[in-house]
Amino acid sequence: MATVTATATARSLTLVSGLAALLVFSPCSLSLATSDRDADRVERLPGQPESPSVSQFSGYVTVDERHGRALFYWFFEAQALPEEKPLLLWLNGGPGCSSIGYGAASELGPLRVVSHGAALEFNQYAWNKEANLLFLESPVGVGFSYTNTSTDLDKLDDEFVAEDAYNFLVNWLERFPEYKDREFYIAGESYAGHYVPQLAELVYGRNKDKMAKTYINIKGFIVGNPITNNYYDSKGLAEYAWSHTVVSDEVYERIKKYCDFKNSNWSDDCSVAMNIIFNQYQEIDIYNIYAPKCLLNQTSASSVGRAFFANDQDQFRRTIRMFSGYDPCYSSYAEDYFNKKQVQRAFHANLSGLLPGKWHVCSDPILISYNFSVFSVLPIYSKLIKAGLRVWLYSGDADGRVPVIGSRYCVEALGLPIKTQWQPWYLNKQVAGRFVEYHDMSMVTIRGAGHLVPLNKPAEGLMLINTFLRGEQLPTRR
C-alpha cells in the first residue's frame, strides 16, 4: 500500500513542536492552540442543510512526528450546553473501517450522507444531543489518516493502535484545552471491541503516571456488537447461524465435532464446516440477517463496506460485504461523498492530494496485514470494572457476525454478581430490548437491530447512550 508524502499544510500535518508537552498554558500557548482550533473549524460542508446549525471541526493531529504519522478526526460540539456535556470518542472497527464513513456519516453523527452521496441530512437522533462527539479514523492507513513511513503499516496491531489513539487524545486536548477536565467516555462497535477497552486501559494506566503529559478524566466505555473473545465469539457465530435457520442441524453437528474454537488455527475440517455458514451469508446480510441485501453491482474495494470484522479464514476475509439498515447500500453513498474534491477541501482532508487512490470506507490492505495478537479483552474488562469505570456492552440481536449469543457468553465469563435479572426495557410503549445489570456493568440488547445499532434503531440508540452517560437504568415500564 502506498503512503502519503509530506507536502500538506503545516496545520494538517504537524502540531506546534512541544505544544503537547506543556502542562501549564502560557498566553502564547493558548494563542497557538486557538489558532489550530480555528483552522480546523468547518463552516459548512457541500450539501449540508441550512438548518439547524452544526458546530464542527475536522483535521489532522500528528501522533508521531519522526515517522510523519497523523490521524484524521471529525468533531461535533454538543447541540446544547456543550460546556456542560461530556466528551465521547467513537471508534469503528474492521480493522480498517472508517469512523468518519460509518459512525459519523452513516450512524450517529448529526450529518448523514444521503442521495447517493449528493447531500447531507440532519440526524435527529445524533449522539451529540448527549455529548461532545469526536470521531477518529484509526489506525493509520484508514480513511484520510496517513503515514510517511511505509513500514508503519507492517506493525499494526492492537498495542500500536492504542498507543497512537492515546497520543492523538493528548495532542487533541492541547488543541481543545476546554475539554481537558471534562468527563471522558469511549464508545465503538465490532473490532473496536478491542480498540475501546485497550485504549481505556492505556488512559487509565497513564493517568497514574505522575510524569504523564495529560490527565484524561476517563469515566467509562461502551461497546456495541463487539469482538471480545475469540472462543466465545466464534462459538456464538456458529450457534446463532444454526438457531436462526441459516444452516442445517447436520452442519451444526459437524461444527461441534470438528471445531475447537479455543485454538485460533482452525482445522481443515472445521474450516470446511464454517465456510458453509459463510457461504450462506453471501446470500443474506450477515450484519442484519432480516434486512435486505445490497444488490448494487460492486466492482472494487471502493464499493465495499467489507470489513467490520477480523477473521483468520482467508476465504471469508476476501468476501465483499455491505452492511444494511434503512438502505443496505448506504456505505457507497459515503464513498461517493468523501471522494469529492470540494468536500475534501471544506473538510481539511487530503490537502496535499496525495492520498493513495480513492478514500474508502474500509481499507482492505489494513484488514489483510493487521497482526491479530490478542485473543481476549475480558481481562481488561475485569481490571477496569474493578477500578470503578462504568462499562456497558450492547448488542443488536439480528447481527450474525458478532451475535448476541457470543456476547452473552463473554459477559457471563466475567463471573460478576447480578444486580438485576434479565428484563425488558421500553421505548414508545414497546419492548426495545432486554438488559441485565451486574454490580459493576450492564449488558443491553436492542430488539431488531443488526451490527449497526445507531443506524438500524436510531431512537433506541439515542436512549441507550443517554442512559449510559447519565449512569441511569433503562426504562422498565411502558
Q: What would the pLDDT profile of 181-217 be if each residue is shown by its tens digit?
A: 999 999 999 999 999 999 999 999 999 987 778 899 9
Q: What would the pLDDT profile of 222-232 be if each residue is shown by its tens digit?
A: 999 999 999 99
Q: What would the pLDDT profile of 46-102 be if each residue is shown by its tens digit?
A: 999 998 999 999 999 999 999 989 999 999 999 999 999 999 999 999 999 999 999
Per the CB < 8 A criterion, the answer to whether 3 and 149 are in contact is yes
Three-state SS for 427?
strand
pLDDT of residue 332: 84
Q: Does domain 1-227+300-395 have CATH number 3.90.550.10?
A: no
* Catalytic annotation present for 138: no
| Nearest alpha-carbon partner for 191 in 350, 309, 316 | 309
> To 5 degrees, how large is the angle CA 469–CA 395–CA 328?
110
Q: Of 138, 190, 271, 331, which is the active-site residue?
A: 190
Res. 137: pLDDT tops 50 = yes
Name the phi and psi angles at 86, rounded to 5: -70, 170
Task: State the number of CA atoms in the 13 A half-sphere of 145 facing the CB.
Answer: 34
Q: Are 1-227+300-395 and 396-470 equal in CATH topology?
A: yes
Round the CA-based radius of gyration of the chain to a whole number and report it. 21
Q: What would the pLDDT profile of 14-27 be if each residue is shown by its tens digit?
A: 333 332 333 333 44
Per the CB < 8 A criterion, the answer to whether 190 and 308 are in contact is yes
Name the phi and psi angles at 414, rounded to 5: -70, -20
What is the domain partition of the chain in residue ranges? 1-227+300-395, 396-470
* Catalytic annotation present for 51: no
At 153, list the grid cell: 503499516
Q: Of 399, 407, 440, 442, which is the active-site residue?
A: 399
Per the CB < 8 A criterion, the answer to whether 275 and 310 are in contact is no
On the 0-12 / 13-18 / 19+ scale of CB atoms within 10 A, 5 is exposed
pLDDT confidence band for 302 (50 / 70 / 90): very low
Q: Of 194, 348, 360, 451, which is the active-site residue?
A: 451
Q: Who's near 65: CB < 8 A, 6+ residues apart?
A: 14, 17
pLDDT of residue 372: 92
pLDDT confidence band for 32 (50 / 70 / 90): low
pLDDT of residue 296: 67
Res. 299: pLDDT tops 70 = no
pLDDT of residue 269: 95
pLDDT of residue 108: 97
Q: Who's near 285: CB < 8 A, 6+ residues apart?
A: 291, 292, 293, 294, 321, 322, 323, 324, 328, 450
What is the pLDDT of the chain when averaged over all its residues? 87
* Catalytic annotation present for 190: yes
CATH architecture group of domain 396-470: 3-Layer(aba) Sandwich (3.40)
**Relative orientation angle of helices 404-413 and 230-243, to the nearest 10 degrees:** 140
Share of the chain above pLDDT 70, in %: 86
